[in-house]
Amino acid sequence: MLSSIIYFYGGWPFLTGLWEEVKKGSPGMMTLISMAISVAYFYSTATVFGLEGMDFFWELATLIVIMLLGHWIEMKSVLGASKELELLVSMMPAEAMLVRNGETVRVRIADLQKGDLILVKPGEKVPASDAEEGVETVVYVLVDSQPIGYITMRDQIREESASAIRVLKENGIKNLLLTGDNERVAKSVSDKLGMDGFLANVLPHQKQEKVKELQAKGEFVAMTGDGVNDAPALAQADVGISVGSGTDVAAETADIILVNSNPQDIASLILFGKATNRKMIQNLIWATGCNIIALPLAAGVLYQQGIMISPAVGAALMSLSTVIVAINAQLLRRQIK
């Protein structure tokens, strides 16, 4: 009677999960757990009513309790991820500058209408206070095809850029500047940031080709861009990263969007990816190791050699691996902080 309560009440999340997975045609962990507890329950019940054999009511209770603990930890992690996504949404700008009926106005994002032309700022250049150093972009003013003056502008490098480049280099990741500016401008920016090199005078349609060339050499390419001209290269790259303040085309094409437009976030997300990969390998070793050792021993594979553990201990070790994996995944939060 007690096992029936534990099976139907405690096992209900897994049984309903089994039904959902079967409907989708993709059996997974819920199916595996449901089959395990169902076999244990119905076989043990049959022994109560006369079937020869031993019951597994204690093993059933242990398995359900530990699996519920692992499931609770997993759901807590999912809930935490959902809250992080809500935080990202709250960081999106509430207002935008746009052109409406020939005038530039500021409106709330929620009040945007079809046909509104949003003014975006994919990049930022500032007047060069120390002009003709030879590293500025020169814009000429013409009247009747005759130059009457010019304006020099240079890229404004964000303070976080240098630290982001340094972190990437420390982790063995090469950094290249891909730009349409001339070589002097590209070299100046590349040198100031301590990058590994640059590709200058690259036309918009050539950016994608440059990414292909790097990939052909066996490089895994992560491309960061913000403009319309970057979209093909972002799509071609193994990982496309769009700056949040960039164009909609770049954002739609990229795999990742930097909401804060902060270069430091590029280094953070790559380090986060590496840490996540390490956790996946660790959890695979934990889960596989426990099951490979515990289940065969509980099944009596080495019984002739005098080595055997009870089914209860085998079930406990199998369930314990789930808890260990969930707790180990939770530790990822501390590493990222």
Record the tokens describing residue 330, joined without a space. Answer: 């939770």
Please report the pLDDT score of residue 7 as a whole number. 94
Query: Which among 131, 127, 135 has a CA at the least distance from the CA of 184?
Result: 135
Tokens (6 digits) for 305: 């050699």
pLDDT of res. 188: 85
Q: What pLDDT sits at residue 46?
A: 93
Block residue for tokens 């700056």: 243
What was the pLDDT predicted at 131?
A: 43
CB 107 within 8 A of CB 93: no
Strand partners, 100: 103
Q: Report the 10 Å Cβ neighbour count for 178.
A: 19
Give the largest CA-CA distance in the chain: 105
Q: Note whether 60 and 41 are within 8 A (CB).
A: yes
Residue 115 falls in which region: left (phi positive, over 0), alpha (psi -120 to 50) or beta: left
Q: Coil, helix or strand for 154?
A: strand
User: pTM higher than 0.75 for the full model?
Assistant: no
Report yes or no: 55 and 44 within 8 Å, Cβ to Cβ: yes
Helices (H), ranges, the chain: 2-5, 12-24, 29-48, 57-91, 159-170, 183-193, 204-216, 231-236, 248-253, 264-299, 311-330, 332-336
Distance from C-alpha of 272 to C-alpha of 275, rounded to nearest angstrom: 5
Residue carrying the six token digits 């406990």: 316
Nearest to 40 by CA among 67, 74, 73: 67
Instruction: Give CA torsion, residues 331, 332, 334, 335, to 10 deg.
Output: 130
Mean pLDDT in runs of 10 for the chain (337 residues)?
A: 93 90 85 87 92 86 86 74 58 56 61 49 44 65 80 77 89 89 84 90 86 91 83 88 73 79 84 86 81 74 78 71 79 69
Cβ atoms of 190 and 182 within 8 Å: the answer is: no
Q: 132: helix, coil or strand?
A: coil
